[in-house]
Structure 1
């Protein structure tokens, strides 16, 4: 028994030590980032890590009414931000799974770092339907692949699926968009409570990509 207690104490001390080292490392990285220019913070245009292990879903994974009106919904998301400021073409809509109707729309913009189109449309529609059931009967359609923050919001909202136009890999390859995070939405979904949530990519990307160039 004493040996077991000693082992637990040693593990706790080891964990505290590793946590302290990690905190110091993150603190140093934060200071370095603060001193770097925005262009220096942008990663090089390389492929996303682990992307092949977390592929997007086929369009057939979405409810049929949404598939039928998917291109219309994407063009509505584009229209939300038209004319879009250069590199800032983030627009999103919610589509009802029963009839394919667009039930909400929003765009991203300047200001707080949480001012993202996907988060805005989920929050605004959710405030109108606080029971959460209405959100679960929608698919999020957005001009660009959601960042990890917005992907997590979609998961917590329990939407029936997500479809995006421009990929995160494309955004990373165009530094002016300042997209430093390399975690794809399929990766976020795979580690969450809804691992089978469909994530369809590349919808009308030939029309959404120019919004970020």
Structure 2
């Protein structure tokens, strides 16, 4: 039995929602990685002082070398969790930007009168999708318009800070004052993923708002078709 084809309004919303789920998965993974990293923080943990002897190895004084197995484990795990934390942060930011820009794209497309069944992204040389324009004009009657604008501006500040920090880091010489500015810019840029996710949440609700008209038109079509079926009259 062939699968039922979704109406474009439903498949488009599902496309945006899939971007949310993806970003949220990486968001949760990053939070978990951050939490795990704190469990091996030397400032927060007491290292067991017990040591083991390493037969066949000597220290600088010619005595049998010893090692703290618990301290070594914390060191290994600290490096491991730091790597995972960094990688999940990168994936979270990428996914959050795709989510935010994908929702924004969907709203713009619907407001232009288009009927896209899915969110469309341009791909890079490796075939991976990249974020697109984030701004959503034309939502003057949307109740969450002010919140959407505020979230957009917060995201733009983070992204501009990231660009400024990268610019300073790429210079051959950075003054002490510029080094301070670079540190501040990087601190703001660290919030890009969360800012993009927050913007995406409001933009996703804007997708539902933009789809009100098309969904009502669809319901009217279905009602007309049902009525015609009952009376045996053809529909236009």
Do both proteins adopt the same fold according to a TM-score greater than 0.5, normalized to the shorter chain?
Answer: no
In terms of fraction of residues, the more helix-rich structure is 2
TM class, shorter-length: under 0.3
Bigger radius of gyration: 2
Instruction: State the TM-score, normalized to the length of structure 1.
Output: 0.26
The structure with the largest strand share of the pair is 1
Normalised to the residue count of structure 2, the TM-score between the two structures is 0.24
